[in-house]
Amino acid sequence: MKDLQSIKQRFGIIGNYEGLNRAIDIAVQVAPTDLSVLITGESGTGKEIFPQVIHNHSSRKHGPYIAVNCGAIPEGTIDSELFGHEKGSFTGATDSRKGYFEVANGGTIFLDEVAELPLSTQVRLLRVLETGEFIRVGSSKVQKTNVRVIAASNVDVSSAIVNGRFREDLYYRLNTVPIRIPSLRERGEDIVLLFRKFAVDFAEKYRMPAIRLDYESRDILVNYSWPGNVRQLKNITEQISIIENEREIKASILKSYLPDYDTVKLPAVIKKDDDKSFSSEREILYKILFDMKSDMNDLKKLVYDLIQNGEGSFSESDARAVRNLFTEVKPGFSERKAADTEPVELTMRHPGEEIIDTEEIVEESLSLSDKEVEMIKKALGKYKGKRKLAAAELGISERTLYRKIKEYGIEM
């Protein structure tokens, strides 16, 4: 416990929540090894602190430590930033440059928002993790590096794998040791401790008395959902410290700084902008259609069995039961019409006599591609050929829609 407290003091970690203590304990245990670590948690939970804990408790603590925000680097330059480039390898490359993996040799590199990496860069990263080898952009020379990789993501990486945005083999290579950072709303009384710490820090910074909460405000603080986690709490504490004249913060004042505090939060339908969600919705629709067709076939079989296996004519109750079945399933056949219709006399066929089905069945095309073409044409027609709006309606990217228009030869 003493070591845990000293780590918290050294790295400025506030709180006693069990999940937080567990994350620190795992970080310290894995530090002496060279295993890759994947840190997950919502945005604003403080994931960037844990790679520093691991690095400073490892044998690499005297080596370089480099933190890279993968989401902040443009896709066109990310390979150059990570692996370096040779002079003249692309426009603007006026000189050779070392990448982060080369500079961090013998130390630790922290890849924040790793799920934002392009798939081509993920292939290069996988090679570094497996063999320690990389190639600069514009070069054919293989170089070696000895780097401990720690990655972090605020998105569900397993969902990114399903959606084709993240390589499964890279995920398992990074996720050798997983560490989950709890969200702020899970941490209970830790929220009050963090508020006090931030209030004191801002009081010193702006040379004013520290703000404090009354009893009701404490409850509001603990029960709020905190979508922005610790980052949001710090931001709100600073706002109140500067704007409010009263140093004791009452519930009414605190609520005015909490977005949508009094709003009832209902479940939201999340529309994913990719091909997978589009296919999933279509498959659900087809499954319903197939189930309906199966039910109709079962109904027909039931009627045929009744006719073939019975003796003599149907009783009045049997005829009424069969008539009711058709009333329920036949389109446009309402109870009113059924009442006005003459009673149906169902007679038995002789054994072996062929039953002639006089109903004309028009089979609907169940081709996925035909349905897809139909839906694309409808969307384009609805928005008068505007591909961007049509793609949003279909739940796919504009690039994917353009590809499908060319593939199916759809005329605009």
Q: Domains (ranges, CATH) in the chain?
A: 2-182 (3.40.50.300), 185-256 (1.10.8.60)
Reply yes or no on whether the pLDDT at 166 is more than 50: yes
Q: Give the pLDDT score at 260.
A: 76
Instruction: For residue range 293-327, list pLDDT tens digits in order.
Output: 777 777 766 666 666 665 445 556 655 655 555 55
What is the predicted pLDDT for the residue at 337?
43
Question: Which of 70-84, 133-147, 232-246, 270-284 has the least mean pLDDT?
Answer: 270-284
Q: Terminal CA-to-CA distance of the chain, rounded, Å?
A: 69
**Around 208, how many Cα atoms within 13 Å sit in the side-chain half-sphere?**
14
**Is the pLDDT score of 46 beyond 70?**
yes
pLDDT of residue 53: 97
Least-confidence region, from 10-24, 102-116, 382-396: 382-396
pLDDT digits (tens, 9 = 90+) for 248-270: 999 999 999 998 776 544 444 44
Which pLDDT band, with edges at 50, 70 and 90, does 397 fall under? confident
Q: What is the DSSP string of 3-24?
A: HHHHHHHHHT-----HHHHHHH
> Could you tell me the pLDDT band of residue 283, with boundaries at 50, 70 and 90?
low
Q: CA 349, CA 125: separation in Å to the nearest integer? A: 74
Return the bridge partners of 7, or none. none
For range 180-204, the mean pLDDT: 95
Contacts 24+ apart (CB under 8 A), 284-289: 286/366, 286/368, 286/371, 289/366
CA-to-CA separations, 346 to 309, 310, 329, 355, 380, in angstroms, rounded: 13, 11, 18, 13, 50
Q: Which of 62-66, 81-85, 230-234, 339-343 has the lowest mean pLDDT?
A: 339-343
For the cut 60, the answer to whether the pLDDT of residue 278 exceeds it is: no
**Per-residue model confidence (pLDDT) at position 112:** 96
**Confidence at 364, pLDDT banded by 50, 70, 90:** low
pLDDT of residue 284: 66
Structure tokens at 380: 């384009």
67 — alpha (psi -120 to 50), left (phi > 0) or beta? Answer: beta
**What is d(CA 92, CA 165) in angstroms, rounded to the nearest whole number?**
29
From 96-105, 256-265, 358-367, 390-399, the region with the lowest mean pLDDT:
358-367
Looking at the DSSP bridge assignments, the partners of residue 197 are none
